Amino acid sequence: MKLEDLVKIGVGSIFLAKEKMQELIEEAKKRGELTEKEAEELINEMKKESEEKLEEIRKMIKDEVKKQLDELGVATKEDIKRIEEKIEKLNVQK
């Protein structure tokens, strides 16, 4: 399975879970099992957790892309900056 597929599955499941939780919260609110304030707090907590999970996924993707680029030997911004600085020093020395 490709990384892209894993990301789609992860993000999709987060959004499905979020939608299902919102439905359950609304149903509980209608049945009087939750107050408006409690429902709002649960929804806010759920949003926060979803954002944290998405950030984890973003970090995993970033780390994996960096790893793959390193394995391929592709120069990073830092590598290019170091080379530019060396060139600049050499030009100054002339």
Rg of the chain in Å (alpha carbons): 23
Indicate the SS3 state at residue 23. Answer: helix
Which residues, other chains included, contact 29 with Cβ-Cβ below 8 Å and sequence gap of 6+? 35, 36, 39
Calpha distance 13→37 (Å, rounded): 26
**Rounded distance, CA 5 to CA 36, Å?**
38
pLDDT in tens, 66-91: 898 889 999 989 999 999 999 999 99
pLDDT digits (tens, 9 = 90+) for 26-67: 888 888 888 888 888 888 888 888 888 888 888 988 898 889
